[in-house]
A and B are shown apart, each in its own frame.
Chain A
Amino acid sequence: METIIAKTTEQKVDAKISPTTLTGSQAVLEACIAEGADTIFGYPGGAIMPIYDALYDYNDKLKHILVRHEQGGIHAGQGYARTSGKAGVVFATSGPGATNLVTGLADAMIDSTPLVCITGQVFAHLLGTDAFQETDIINITMPVTKWNYQVTDATEIPGILAKAFYLARSGRPGPVIIDITKNAQIQSFDYEGYTPCNHIRSYRPKPVIRKSFIDEAVALINNAKKPLVIFGQGVILGKAEKEFKNFIEKSGMPAAWTILGLSALATDHPQNVGMLGMHGNYGPNVLTNECDVLIAVGMRFDDRVTGRLDKYAKQAKVIHLDIDPSEIDKNVKAHVGVWGDCKETLPLLTLGIQEKDRSEWLKVFADYTQQEYDQCIKEELNPSTEEMTMGEVIRIVNETTKGNAVVVTDVGQHQMVACRYAKFNETRSNVTSGGLGTMGFALPAAIGAKFGALDRTVIAVIGDGGIQMTIQELGTIMQTGVDVKIMILNNQFLGMVRQWQQLFNDKRYSFVDIQSPDYVMVAKAYGIEGSKVEHRKNLQTAIQTMLAHKGSYLLEVMVGKENNVFPMVPQGCSVSEIRLK
Chain B
Amino acid sequence: METNTEKQEYTITVYTENQVGLLNRIAIIFSRRKINIGSLNTSPSEIDGIHRFTIVVMESRDVVTKIVRQIEKQVEVLKAYFNTNDEIVWQELALYKVLSEEITEKVKVERLLREYGARAVAIRKDFIVFETTGHREETNKLMKALEPFGLVEFVRSARVAIIKESSGFHEKLKDFEQKQPSEEVIENEYLGKREAVFTM
Contact = CB atoms under 8 A, between A and B. Distances in A.
Interface of A: 138-139, 142-143, 146-148, 150, 167, 198-204, 207-208, 210, 213, 324-326, 328-330, 337, 339
Given A143-B32, A202-B17, A330-B66, A207 B188 contact: yes
A322 to B, nearest CB: 11
A329 B190 contact: yes
A150 B66 CA distance: 29
B4 to A, nearest CB: 10
A405 B172 CA distance: 49
B187 A146 contact: no
B69 A325 contact: yes
B119 interface: no
Contacts of B191: 213, 325, 328, 337, 339
B32 to A, nearest CB: 7
B179 interface: yes
A201 B186 contact: no
30 contacts: A138-B21, A143-B28, A143-B32, A146-B75, A148-B21, A167-B75, A198-B179, A199-B179, A201-B78, A201-B176, A202-B17, A202-B77, A202-B78, A203-B75, A203-B76, A207-B188, A208-B180, A208-B181, A208-B186, A210-B183, A210-B187, A325-B69, A325-B73, A325-B188, A326-B70, A326-B72, A328-B191, A329-B66, A337-B188, A337-B191
- The 5 lowest CB-CB distance pairs between A and B, nearest first, are A326-B69, A201-B176, A202-B78, A337-B191, A208-B186
B29 to A, nearest CB: 9
Nearest to A203: B75
Given A139-B24, A328-B191, A201 B75 contact: no
B16 interface: yes
Determine which residue in B65, B77, B186, B191 has the highest number of CB atoms from chain A within 10 A of its CB, and name it: B191
Contacts of B72: 325-326
A152 to B, nearest CB: 10
Contacts of A139: 21, 24
Nearest to A198: B179
A329 B191 CA distance: 9
Contacts of A147: 75
A143 B21 CA distance: 12
B60 to A, nearest CB: 14
A19 to B, nearest CB: 33
Nearest to B70: A326
Interface range for B: 20 to 34
B25 interface: yes
A574 B69 CA distance: 28
B115 interface: no
Contacts of A330: 66, 69
Given A208-B181, A208-B186, 16 more contacts: A139-B21, A143-B28, A148-B21, A167-B75, A202-B16, A202-B17, A208-B183, A210-B192, A325-B72, A325-B190, A325-B191, A326-B72, A326-B73, A337-B191, A339-B188, A339-B191
Contacts of A213: 191
Interface string B172-197: 01001101110100111011100000
Determine which residue in B69, B70, B173 has the highest number of CB atoms from chain A within 10 A of its CB, and name it: B69
A204 B17 contact: no
B181 A204 contact: yes
Nearest to B194: A329
Contacts of A208: 180-181, 183, 186
Contact of B186 (A203, A204, A329): A204
Contact of A324 (B24, B66, B73): B73
A199 B176 CA distance: 10
Determine which residue in A142, A143, A204, A324 has the highest number of CB atoms from chain B within 10 A of its CB, and name it: A204
Contacts of B32: 143
Interface in B11-34: 16-17, 20-21, 24-25, 28, 32
Contacts of B176: 201-202
B77 A207 contact: no
A153 to B, nearest CB: 13
A139 B183 CA distance: 35
Contacts of B28: 142-143
A201 B190 contact: no
B50 to A, nearest CB: 9
A207 B186 contact: yes
A325 B28 CA distance: 19
A121 B65 CA distance: 37
Determine which residue in A139, A150, A326 has the highest number of CB atoms from chain B within 10 A of its CB, and name it: A326
A199 B69 CA distance: 21
Nearest to B175: A201
Nearest to A326: B69
Contacts of A202: 16-17, 75-78, 176
A150 B190 CA distance: 33
B177 to A, nearest CB: 5
Contacts of A329: 65-66, 190
A356 to B, nearest CB: 27
Contacts of A204: 181, 186
B42 to A, nearest CB: 16
Contact of B25 (A142, A150, A167, A210): A142
Contacts of B78: 201-202
A207 B183 CA distance: 9
